[in-house]
């Protein structure tokens, strides 16, 4: 095993072109500036990982492996459904079955960094993934990233993508254009942060610092893997979003709007132009990143009456005609059982407040 530099990691990721945003070297650098320590190691040409460590009291850490490009196998193919595993072993380098040696190296890195446990969020959907009884991993009750999302296929032409949308969404996109809303690229990060703050106050969502958004833009935009778009009316900003892309995948990660001219539906045209940006880059899917973790039946039955949490964004995102998907549940690999138990108690109490 080799602990590698950012340059070497980026070269490694270049050979896994559909790697998730959260495994890109730039994401590790972003998190490094805000309290996390990225460690990147390569076992061989097909096996490696970027792990983020968050400092805890007493010199301990929490380890986090977000959306790794490798299947989670203890060497006996414990986690992928057999039919998926067979398909992936032939057709994909993104979810290759890794060896016991990989996890031994992971354990070594985690122990050197005094990790209480390592949380792994697989880059796989629930239907692709199954956890057989194992002492190596605990199926976690807690995810860091929202597990359920809506994914829009970009493989068809624009008219076909529009045709899959809900009629009201399609209408709002066209209405925004008719009412004078325009979309352009933007680099006013202070104004974007101010707009994010307005949105956070309106929806009770957490908001990063201005420095966080600036650093994300600095790391990704020069490489063409990020764009900041703004919706305006008569040169007045109304809404903005930051979209990321890698190879054939794109993610809508940060979005905001102020309280002006909302009847002009700027967010709909803005999202459509972000989708068009991703498609023009060659992306084949667009991840809307986060809706309530409920079944489609529950979501459709309650979205008109619910406004708490992610329910408001579900009302918006459902209109774009994507497919509701749920990521495989997070796994924990435990190194200090007593402190891990204390962590579970802490998170359980916080979630019950």
pTM of the shown model: 0.90
Report the residue count for the chain: 353
Is the confidence at residue 85, as pLDDT, over 70?
Answer: no
Q: What would the pLDDT profile of 270-326 be if each residue is shown by its tens digit?
A: 999 999 999 999 999 999 999 999 999 999 999 999 988 899 899 999 999 999 999
Over residues 128-155, the pLDDT tens digits come to: 877 665 668 899 989 999 999 999 999 9
What lies within 8 Å, CB to CB, of 92 at 6+ separation is none
Return the H-helix or E-strand segment holding 53.
strand 47-55
What is the 8-class DSSP label of residue 264?
G
In sequence order, what DSSP letters do the residues of 124-186 get, joined into one string?
SBGGGB---S-SS-EE-S--SS-SEEEEEE-SS-HHHHHHHS-HHHHHHHHHHHHTTEEEEE-
* pLDDT tens, residue by residue, 178-237: 999 999 999 999 999 999 999 999 888 899 999 999 999 999 999 999 999 999 999 999
- Average pLDDT over the chain reads 89
Dihedral of alpha carbons 244, 123, 349, 63, sign: negative
Q: What confidence tier does 349 reach under pLDDT thresholds 50, 70, 90?
A: confident
As a whole number of angstroms, the distance between CA 104 and CA 1 comes to 10
* Look-up of token digits 């398909």: 87
pLDDT score, position 18 = 83
Phi, psi angle pair for 80, to nearest 5° = -85, 140
Do the bridges between strand 249-257 and strand 138-139 make them parallel or antiparallel, or are there none, so unpaired?
unpaired
Q: Give the span between the Cα atoms of 331 and 141, in whole angstroms.
A: 9
């Amino acid at each position: 095993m080799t602990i590698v530099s950012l340059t070497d990691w980026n070269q490694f990721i270049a050979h896994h072109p559909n790697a998730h945003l959260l495994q890109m070297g730039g994401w590790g650098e972003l998190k490094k500036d805000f309290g996390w320590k990225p460690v990147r190691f390569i076992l061989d040409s097909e096996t490696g990982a970027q792990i983020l460590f968050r400092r805890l009291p007493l010199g301990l850490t929490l380890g986090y492996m977000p959306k790794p490009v490798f299947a989670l196998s203890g060497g006996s193919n414990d986690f992928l459904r057999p039919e998926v595993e067979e398909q992936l072993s032939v057709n994909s380098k993104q979810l290759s079955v890794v060896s016991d040696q990989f996890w031994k190296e992971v354990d070594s890195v985690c122990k050197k960094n005094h990790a209480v446990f390592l949380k792994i969020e697989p880059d796989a959907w629930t239907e692709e993934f199954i956890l057989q009884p194992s002492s190596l991993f605990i199926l976690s009750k807690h995810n860091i990233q929202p597990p359920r999302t809506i994914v829009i296929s970009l493989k068809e032409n624009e008219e076909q993508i529009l045709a899959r949308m809900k009629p009201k969404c399609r209408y709002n996109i066209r209405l925004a254009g008719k009412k004078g809303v325009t979309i352009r690229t933007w680099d006013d990060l202070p104004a974007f942060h101010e707009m994010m703050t307005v949105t956070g106050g309106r929806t009770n969502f957490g908001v990063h610092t201005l420095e966080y958004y600036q650093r994300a833009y600095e790391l990704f935009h020069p490489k063409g893997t990020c764009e900041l778009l703004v919706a305006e009316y008569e040169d007045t900003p109304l809404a903005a979003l930051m979209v990321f892309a890698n190879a054939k995948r794109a993610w809508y990660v940060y979005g905001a709007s102020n309280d002006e001219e909302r009847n002009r539906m700027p967010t709909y045209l803005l999202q459509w132009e972000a989708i068009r940006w991703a498609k023009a880059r060659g992306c084949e899917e667009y991840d809307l990143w986060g809706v309530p973790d409920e079944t489609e039946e529950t979501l459709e039955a309650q979205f008109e009456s619910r406004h708490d949490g992610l329910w408001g964004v579900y009302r918006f995102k459902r209109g774009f005609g994507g497919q509701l998907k749920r990521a495989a549940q997070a796994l924990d690999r435990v190194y200090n059982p007593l402190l891990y138990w204390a962590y579970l108690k802490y998170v359980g109490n916080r979630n019950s407040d």
